[in-house]
């Protein structure tokens, strides 16, 4: 899963990137020297994987991962207060979700926070970017029509993009629209930004963290929202766990920023985890809620979905309750599932296939 941190300059994106990834990318000054984004991949620490690993003692344990991308603006562009450079844009389009970092602390340069305005400003930029794409595409399709290229496919695409255009013009995000399977396919390539799942990270100061109920409620009307206190949590992330815990309790932080964000991201993207187990490898995989056994097979390897026969399946919970895979079988909790079986969070799968 790829998550792009976006936001206005000095909202604390790099600070939060460092917190989440235990990195030490330079804050603020960085932007003037370098235009490439900071990128880091972190393991999703899932207790279930730890437990499975202890049980199967595999040669290798592989966690699911999240890639965080912190977009850095070149100095020139940040002066214009554009939020995206053209080089960043291609990468932003490739993310599974956007995390919008919003300043909620007093800043020497920028003064008092105005979080709601900032959110609106970014939202406008995202919409504009989508609007431009939609308009350009409509013009091109119009041209094709004039040249007599009026295929069914192109007509469907035109209809879909026109709907999107209307939505954006009435100031609404594409993610709130419903599309048929065919429409989805027609527009997939455009990677519209307001179609991506988005979360707001309210980045509060040490002094006001945990005291923003009203503001959070207001933001929650339109966005899923989570509160961090970037500077403080960045310092915590550099400590060892026991030490960090004492400071966290003081501040009223229940869990590390990374864990809080991970749970939140799974929820927003609609991801669940399934596992594969064995003496060679215990591994966590992610798919979207509602996806089938054959789609799960395809995330492991395309061969597995092509040659799919059956999925051997039992649940992590049944395994824990029963104590061993053998006991799961004896209780009749070991199942054979077909292609269309909807995979559940915590399923342990073994794909039988033949190619
Ligand atoms: N007081 C306070 N300052 C913060 C917090 N998070 C970031 N900052 C400061 O805001 C400035 C900009 O942070 P940075 O992470 O570089 O923002 P970016 O431009 O969005 O990447 C730095 O001086 C940070 O120390 C926070 O939670 N509290
Ligand atoms: Mg930065």
- The answer on pLDDT for 79 being more than 80 is no
On whether the CB atoms of residues 70 and 25 are closer than 8 A, the answer is yes
Residue 104: inside a domain? yes
Query: Which residue's CA lies nearest to atom 12 of ligand 1?
Result: 10
Per residue in 309-322, is it b (16+ CB within 10 Å) or e — as a string? ebbebbbbebbeeb
- Asked if residue 285 belongs to a domain, the reply is no
The pLDDT of residue 25 is 83
pLDDT tops 60 at residue 48 = yes
Six-digit token string for 88: 């960043």
Domain identity same for 27 and 119: yes
Q: Give the rounded distance of the alpha carbon of 79 from its chain centre.
A: 28
Query: For the residues 101-122, what does the mean pLDDT come to?
Result: 94
Q: Return the sign of the alpha-carbon dihedral for residues 158, 163, 167, 169.
A: positive
Q: Give the mean model confidence (pLDDT) for residues 150-179.
A: 96
User: What is the number of domains present in the chain?
Assistant: 3
pLDDT at 74 over 60: no
Q: What are phi and psi of 91, to 5 degrees?
A: -75, -40
pLDDT digit string (tens) for 252-277? Answer: 998 999 999 999 999 999 999 999 99
Looking at the structure, tell me whether residues 189 and 202 fall in a common domain.
no
> Whose Cα sits closest to atom 24 in ligand 1?
12
Domain range enclosing 313? 290-353
Please tell me the predicted confidence (pLDDT) of residue 144: 96
Q: Which atom of ligand 1 is nearest to the CA of 15?
A: 15
Regarding whether 135 and 112 lie in a shared domain, the answer is: no
Beta bridge partners of 158: none
Pocket of ligand 1 (CB under 6 A): 7, 9-15, 27-28, 105, 107, 203, 205, 229-231
What is the CA(224)–ligand 1 centre distance, in A? 22
Does residue 92 share a domain with residue 14? yes
Interval 149-167 mean pLDDT = 96
Question: Is 133:165 a contact under the CB 8 Å cutoff?
Answer: no
Residues with CB in 5 Å of ion ligand 2? 13-14
- Tell me if 277 is assigned to some domain: no
Helices 241-251 and 230-237 meet at what angle, rounded to 10? 160
Any idea what the CATH number is for the domain that residue 321 is in? Answer: 3.10.20.30
Q: How far is CA 84 from the centre of its chain?
A: 18
Strand order in the sheet with 347-353: 60-62, 281-288, 271-276, 347-353, 308-315, 335-337
pLDDT at 81 over 60: no
> What is the model's pTM?
0.90
Instruction: Say yes or no: 331 and 263 in one domain.
Output: no
30 — pLDDT class (breaks 50, 70, 90): very low
pLDDT at 71: 82
Name the closest ligand to CA 230: 1
Given a cut of 80, whether residue 344 has pLDDT beyond it is yes
C-beta separation of 254 from 209 below 8 A? no
pLDDT number for residue 76: 53
- The rounded distance, in Å, linking the Cα atoms of 46 and 63 is 8
Clarify whether residues 34 and 131 are in a common domain. Answer: no
For residues 176 and 155, what is the distance between their CA atoms, to the nearest angstrom? 23
Provide mean pLDDT across the span 4-33: 84
């Amino acid at each position: 899963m790829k998550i792009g941190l976006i936001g206005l300059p000095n909202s604390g994106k790099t600070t939060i990137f460092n917190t989440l990834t235990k990195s030490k990318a330079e804050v603020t000054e960085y932007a003037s020297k370098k235009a490439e984004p900071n990128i880091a991949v972190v393991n999703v620490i899932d207790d279930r994987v730890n437990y499975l690993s202890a049980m199967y003692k595999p040669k290798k344990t592989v966690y699911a991962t999240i890639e965080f991308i912190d977009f850095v603006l070149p100095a020139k562009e940040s002066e214009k207060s554009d939020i995206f450079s053209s080089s960043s844009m291609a990468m932003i389009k490739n993310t599974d979700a956007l995390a919008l970092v919003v300043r909620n602390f007093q800043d020497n340069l920028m003064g008092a926070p105005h979080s709601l305005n900032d959110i609106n400003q970014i939202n406008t930029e995202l919409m504009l970017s989508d609007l431009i794409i939609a308009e350009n595409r409509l013009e091109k399709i119009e041209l094709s029509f004039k040249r007599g290229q009026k295929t069914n496919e192109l007509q469907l695409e035109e209809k879909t993009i026109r709907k999107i255009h209307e939505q954006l013009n009435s100031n609404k995000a594409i993610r709130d629209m419903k599309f048929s399977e065919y429409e989805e396919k027609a527009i997939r390539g455009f990677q519209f930004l307001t179609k991506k799942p988005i979360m707001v990270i309210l980045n509060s100061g040490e002094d006001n963290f945990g005291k923003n109920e009203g503001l959070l409620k207001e933001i929650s009307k339109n966005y899923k929202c989570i509160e961090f206190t970037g500077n403080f949590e960045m310092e915590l992330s550099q400590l060892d766990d026991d030490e960090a815990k004492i400071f966290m309790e003081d501040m009223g932080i229940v869990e590390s920023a990374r864990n809080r964000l991970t749970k939140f991201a799974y929820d927003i993207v609609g991801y669940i985890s399934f596992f594969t187990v064995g003496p060679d490898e215990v591994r966590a995989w992610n798919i979207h809620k509602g996806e089938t056994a054959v789609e799960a097979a395809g995330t492991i390897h395309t061969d597995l979905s092509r040659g799919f026969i059956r999925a051997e399946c039992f649940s992590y919970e049944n395994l824990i309750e029963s104590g061993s895979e053998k006991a799961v079988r004896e209780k009749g909790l070991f199942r054979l599932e077909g292609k269309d079986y909807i995979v559940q969070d915590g399923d342990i799968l073994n794909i039988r296939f033949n190619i």
